[in-house]
Structure 1
Amino acid sequence: MLSNHSELPSFPPFENWKGISKYFPVQNDSVWLNYCGTTPVSTYATQMMNLYFQEYARFGIFAPSFAEPVIKSAIRGYIAEILNSDPSEIGIVHNTSEGINLYSHSIQIPQGKRILVLENEYPSNVYPWEHWKEKGVGLEFIAVGNTPDEFLTGLKTELEKGDVAILSLSPVHWCTGVAFDMEAVSKLCETNHTKLVIDGSQAVGHIPLDFGKIKVAFCAFAAWKWLLGPLGLGVVYLSKEESNGFKLIFKGQASVVNDSSYFPYRDEWKPAADQFEQSTINFNDWIYFYASLKMLSTLGFSRVRERIYEVAGMFKNALHDLGFTLESDAFPNVKTGILAITGHKDPSKFQPELIQSFLKQRKIITAVRLGRLRMAPHIAIEEEHVTRVKDALKEYLNQT
């Protein structure tokens, strides 16, 4: 019975990207430009999940095409490829907050040291560190600066004070889209004996992150942004060096080796990255994520990143044609897929909330962050969507 495998669906390579939006039903009558926020499901993922549900209905947990160890190995393999890391360094959690909290509560930091995070950082990379303030460890913010180089100058000044134990950084700012030079950041941290922790939610799948070149102790990120995965699933990376002697603050049913044998109770813990999976997981989400990663792998992870920049460039040109200014105008040589609109040549016309509402009425989904109108396209956006957004903004400008 268990040899009755289904044929897993394949995904076309889309050599010129034409027609790929058909795999994203949200684009049928709308333009989704919040891919750095949440990402709608693709038909490829729903097809894979439907196949899994059919097998699960027949075979239960013995669904032959979707054995848990195989799916887990595939997910870890894809992420390891993206990060240039070892699959054993990858664990699966529910979200970034959970991952950083588990790490933050499991490590030791001497009194008198400091933790640095980015100003206006997303709360998932702030709240998990706050408990250290009660333990004699400082939690401070570092300025983003107007350009990536300005940020590096400020960071160098702070790290050279010699008391920063951890820099917990998002390589891409979620509001402005500014992307930092992580190799330079890593070298500064290593020189000043500071551990580098990464909130990768806005970076993984969006900008290159090579953990073979960047010395990172720990990283956590959401699956549902640039990796097109499901809400409520996240990933952690724990370096081999950091894994030495690491023991998670919590112990769950799945924390120990041979966890499927319940007796006798065990004291031998799983390898460090595996410890983050405390007990029974939401395997439905794993299938969804597996499908999204398989799709992106078929297209090519680096090729997907370049397509994101290409589409963002189309929007950038269209917005400039209409008289808008962007955060990225200050760092034109830095690649980013997040477009933060900061103004217009006629200041009276730049009212972010009003523009967002106007676009939403026309089924164009954007976000407002820190007084900026934010757009974040992905591979589901094609040229006709750019034209549609430009036409809608023309209409707005003519009416105001």
Structure 2
Amino acid sequence: MLPNHSELPSFPPFANWKGISQYFPVQSDSVWLNYCGTTPVSTYAIEMMNLYFQEYSRFGIFAPSFAEPTIKAAIRKYIAEILHCDPSEIGIVHNTSEGINLYSHSIQIPKGKRILVLENEYPSNVYPWEHWKEKGVGLEFIPVGKTPDEFLTNLKNELEKGDVHILSLSPVHWCTGVAFDMDVVSKLCETNHTKLVIDGSQAVGHIDLDFGKTKVAFCAFAAWKWLLGPLGLGVVYLSKEESNGFKLIFKGQASVVNDSSYFPYRNEWKPAADQFEQSTINFNDWIYFYASLKMLSTLGFSRVRERIYEVAGMFKDALHDLGFTLESDSFPNVKTGILAINGHKDPSKFQPEAIQAFLKQRKITAAVRLGRLRMAPHIAIEEEHVARVKVALEEYLKQN
């Protein structure tokens, strides 16, 4: 007999984190340090998916433990808890680019105004705004600066010009790991009558975001980074204020109320955040995402963030011991889980691509971004993984 919803698999709370890597097979004989890029699946998500597939094979879309409204409500509840917002403000999409594109093409911006994005921003937060350049709206970049305070000065100078309609910002830079003070950013935007839009892919699940305090019009982010979800699933947030009068540029089968009744055709649209789900969704991904969020919720969302910082701190100490320097050395009081290695006390030894290739041969996965070697750990990393990376880097330094 298959279990009902109350008997779905549970996840242990891991009071001291010891042994949690056993739930992440990728860590069994390797070290995955690209959690801000993509995240391999956990055995807990696999277990949940297997249960769903068993039920789906017997009951089809009527799988008793996985009713679509129940799963959607649970996902929205978890995300609302993370963002400190109302579940009705949450919608589900496929990725950040889709979410920002849909929003960007559904709003109005007066001719002569500007859109600001971050210098060296990820393309998903640049390309969706480019169509506005053909409509008399400027698209410009804000210099990041060397520290968060320098960025805020650069931002203040731009906003005070009075013509910025939208600031579309990633609260954490995907290459350097620098995290910005979003409370200050939000207040600057309010003071200068600028809408704040967020690309949250490197932030949600990684740093504390409180949309109850920080005034954000819209946010989109990927599920497969710090939230440990599936590739090809994303989330949008549309504030209640921004929802007033909002209508998505596209209309699909699922855009209207009572969408399961196909006739007569309808003109009554669903609430704003729901409009982003235009038609049949990839429910398999929803189950995967639900499992990952349930796991993180069991561990405690804030506790998970602190563990990310703790593990990042272990790597930071190990890297400094070996003579490496990091971008975060310029902002030591800012919490971040992204370690961007930018040099070594012997400059000849810092060759990011060569180090990345050397580590890859030893089943250690890192990334190279903007000339930095980037490492991004998560809860699946334990002390023995840090030690393994340190040993590998020691070996590299001796050979070079």
TM-score with structure 1 setting the length: 0.99
Tell me if structure 1 keeps the 8 A contact 2:252–2:278. Answer: yes
> What is the DSSP-based 3-state SS (H/G/I as helix, E as strand, rest coil) of the residue aligned with 1:348?
helix
CA distances 1:206-262 after superposition (whole Å, capped 9, x unpaired): 000000010000000000000000000000000000000000000000000000000
Deviation at 1:3, TM superposition (A): 9.2
Change (3 A) 1:343 1:256: same
Tell me if structure 1 keeps the 8 A contact 2:177–2:340. Answer: yes
> What is the DSSP-based 3-state SS (H/G/I as helix, E as strand, rest coil) of the residue aligned with 2:341?
strand
Tell me if structure 1 keeps the 8 A contact 2:36–2:202. Answer: yes
Deviation at 1:393, TM superposition (A): 0.1
Tell me if structure 2 keeps the 8 A contact 1:2–1:63. Answer: no
Paired with 2:73 and 2:170, the residues of 1 have a C-alpha distance of 27
> What is the DSSP-based 3-state SS (H/G/I as helix, E as strand, rest coil) of the residue aligned with 1:236?
strand
Change (3 A) 1:11 1:37: same
CA distances 1:260-292 after superposition (whole Å, capped 9, x unpaired): 000000000000000000000000000000000
> What is the DSSP-based 3-state SS (H/G/I as helix, E as strand, rest coil) of the residue aligned with 2:6?
coil
Aligned residue pairs, count: 400
Tell me if structure 2 keeps the 8 A contact 1:327–1:340. Answer: yes
CA distances 1:148-206 after superposition (whole Å, capped 9, x unpaired): 00000000000000000000000000000000000000000000000000000000000
Paired with 2:256 and 2:224, the residues of 1 have a C-alpha distance of 29
Change (3 A) 1:332 1:3: closer
Specify the alignment match of 1:242 in structure 2.
Answer: 242
Cα RMSD (Å): 1.0
Deviation at 1:7, TM superposition (A): 2.3
Paired with 1:4 and 1:387, the residues of 2 have a C-alpha distance of 43
> What is the DSSP-based 3-state SS (H/G/I as helix, E as strand, rest coil) of the residue aligned with 1:359?
helix
Specify the alignment match of 1:394 in structure 2.
Answer: 394
Paired with 2:244 and 2:224, the residues of 1 have a C-alpha distance of 30
Paired with 1:5 and 1:367, the residues of 2 have a C-alpha distance of 40
CA distances 1:341-361 after superposition (whole Å, capped 9, x unpaired): 000000000000000000000
Paired with 2:303 and 2:319, the residues of 1 have a C-alpha distance of 24
Specify the alignment match of 1:357 in structure 2.
Answer: 357
Gap runs ≥5 in structure 1: none
> What is the DSSP-based 3-state SS (H/G/I as helix, E as strand, rest coil) of the residue aligned with 1:246?
coil
Paired with 2:144 and 2:5, the residues of 1 have a C-alpha distance of 51
Gap runs ≥5 in structure 2: none
Change (3 A) 1:291 1:3: closer
Runs of 4+ in 1 over 2 A off after TM superposition: 1-7
Deviation at 1:18, TM superposition (A): 0.0
TM-score with structure 2 setting the length: 0.99
Deviation at 1:4, TM superposition (A): 5.8
Tell me if structure 1 keeps the 8 A contact 2:165–2:193. Answer: yes
Paired with 2:4 and 2:210, the residues of 1 have a C-alpha distance of 39
Deviation at 1:328, TM superposition (A): 0.1
Paired with 1:82 and 1:214, the residues of 2 have a C-alpha distance of 13
Deviation at 1:126, TM superposition (A): 0.1
Paired with 2:15 and 2:9, the residues of 1 have a C-alpha distance of 19
Paired with 2:185 and 2:160, the residues of 1 have a C-alpha distance of 13
Deviation at 1:5, TM superposition (A): 5.5
Change (3 A) 1:341 1:2: closer
Equivalent positions of 1:285-300 (< 5 A) are: 285-300=285-300
Paired with 1:243 and 1:5, the residues of 2 have a C-alpha distance of 33
Specify the alignment match of 1:152 in structure 2.
Answer: 152
Tell me if structure 1 keeps the 8 A contact 2:2–2:55. Answer: no
Paired with 1:206 and 1:134, the residues of 2 have a C-alpha distance of 36
> What is the DSSP-based 3-state SS (H/G/I as helix, E as strand, rest coil) of the residue aligned with 1:201?
coil
> What is the DSSP-based 3-state SS (H/G/I as helix, E as strand, rest coil) of the residue aligned with 1:6?
helix
Tell me if structure 2 keeps the 8 A contact 1:183–1:214. Answer: yes
Please state if 1:132 is matched with 2:132: yes
Tell me if structure 2 keeps the 8 A contact 1:115–1:139. Answer: yes
Deviation at 1:99, TM superposition (A): 0.0
> What is the DSSP-based 3-state SS (H/G/I as helix, E as strand, rest coil) of the residue aligned with 2:237?
strand
Equivalent positions of 1:183-332 (< 5 A) are: 183-332=183-332
Tell me if structure 2 keeps the 8 A contact 1:173–1:179. Answer: yes
Tell me if structure 2 keeps the 8 A contact 1:169–1:198. Answer: yes
Deviation at 1:135, TM superposition (A): 0.1
Tell me if structure 2 keeps the 8 A contact 1:2–1:62. Answer: no
Tell me if structure 1 keeps the 8 A contact 2:217–2:241. Answer: yes
Change (3 A) 1:368 1:5: closer
Deviation at 1:6, TM superposition (A): 7.6
Deviation at 1:119, TM superposition (A): 0.5
